[in-house]
């Protein structure tokens, strides 16, 4: 059911995401090769995003089952995630056009990190529901924007940039639940795993920024 929901919600992402993301400062292509530092940083960030988001995505239902007042609504937690994502499909590309893709990605990752942290520090039903809403409001937008931003930082074809980014994301998705499961088994709590997830997204938020912006500090 969750997979079908994700597939249906991916359709507007594909249709509504703009082909090109206007940038504040057009980038100059270099002869250093395809894998420049900026592309490496966003690839790392996208992998960390996959790692961080999937930990909450994997265990949010189990967290809901662990809260007595949420047991009856546990089947609908992912529905809330999906519904929260619908209006943001257009919002994140719009924000990327206004303030640049890398800044929008930084904000989205930071918001998702906050949502995951809220699930830990805000007890009971409120924390889980806030986390579900913020997860839904960000993860599809990050996916759409990251692929566009990665393409903009890559000197090769969009097929290669998308393949590399998707591979990094996939590795993060594989490692995240495994590591989180080990942490949960050892601690007997979801809290530490969620803090690790949130921390990964904070690092991802910083790495989403285009490193060329740091050039301003050298002048």
pLDDT digits (tens, 9 = 90+) for 64-77: 888 787 777 777 88
pLDDT of residue 69: 74
Distance CA 80, CA 120 (A): 19
Read off the pLDDT of each residue in 130-157 and give the average, rounded to a whole number: 92
Instruction: Tell me what the mean pLDDT of segment 13-41 comes to.
Output: 56
Which pLDDT band holds residue 104 (cuts at 50, 70, 90)? very high
Domain spans of the chain, in order of start: 76-211
Region 52-64: mean pLDDT is 90
Tell me what pLDDT residue 217 has: 52
Question: How far is CA 78 from each of CA 83, 84, 161, 173, rounded to the nearest angstrom?
Answer: 9, 10, 30, 17
pTM of the entire predicted model: 0.81
How confident is the model at residue 14, as a pLDDT? 44
Which pLDDT does position 151 carry in this prediction?
92
- Say which residue the tokens 């609504």 belong to: 73
Q: How far apart are CA 189 and CA 62, in angstroms?
A: 11
Options 3.40.50.300, 3.40.50.2000, 1.20.1250.20, 3.30.310.50; CATH of 76-211: 1.20.1250.20
Model confidence at 12: pLDDT above 60: no
Split at pLDDT 50, 70, 90, the class of 24 is very low
């Amino acid at each position: 059911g969750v997979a079908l929901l994700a597939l249906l919600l991916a359709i507007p992402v594909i249709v509504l995401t703009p082909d090109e993301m206007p940038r504040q400062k057009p980038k100059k292509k270099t002869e250093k090769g395809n894998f420049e530092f900026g592309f490496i940083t966003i690839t790392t960030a996208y992998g960390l995003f996959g790692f961080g988001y999937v930990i909450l995505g994997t265990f949010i239902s189990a967290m809901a089952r662990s809260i007595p007042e949420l047991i009856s609504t546990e089947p609908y937690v992912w529905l809330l995630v999906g519904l929260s994502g619908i209006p943001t499909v257009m919002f994140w590309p719009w924000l990327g056009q206004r303030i640049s893709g890398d800044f929008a990605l930084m904000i989205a990752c930071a918001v998702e990190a906050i949502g995951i942290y809220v699930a830990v520090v805000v007890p009971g039903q409120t924390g889980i529901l806030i986390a579900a809403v913020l997860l839904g409001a960000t993860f599809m937008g990050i996916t759409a924007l990251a692929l566009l931003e990665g393409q903009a930082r890559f000197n090769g074809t969009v097929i290669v940039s998308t393949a590399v980014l998707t591979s990094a994301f996939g590795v993060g998705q594989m490692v995240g639940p495994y590591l989180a499961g080990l942490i949960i088994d050892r601690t007997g709590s979801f809290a530490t795993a969620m803090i690790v997830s949130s921390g990964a997204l904070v690092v991802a938020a910083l790495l989403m920024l285009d490193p060329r912006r740091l050039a301003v500090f050298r002048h």
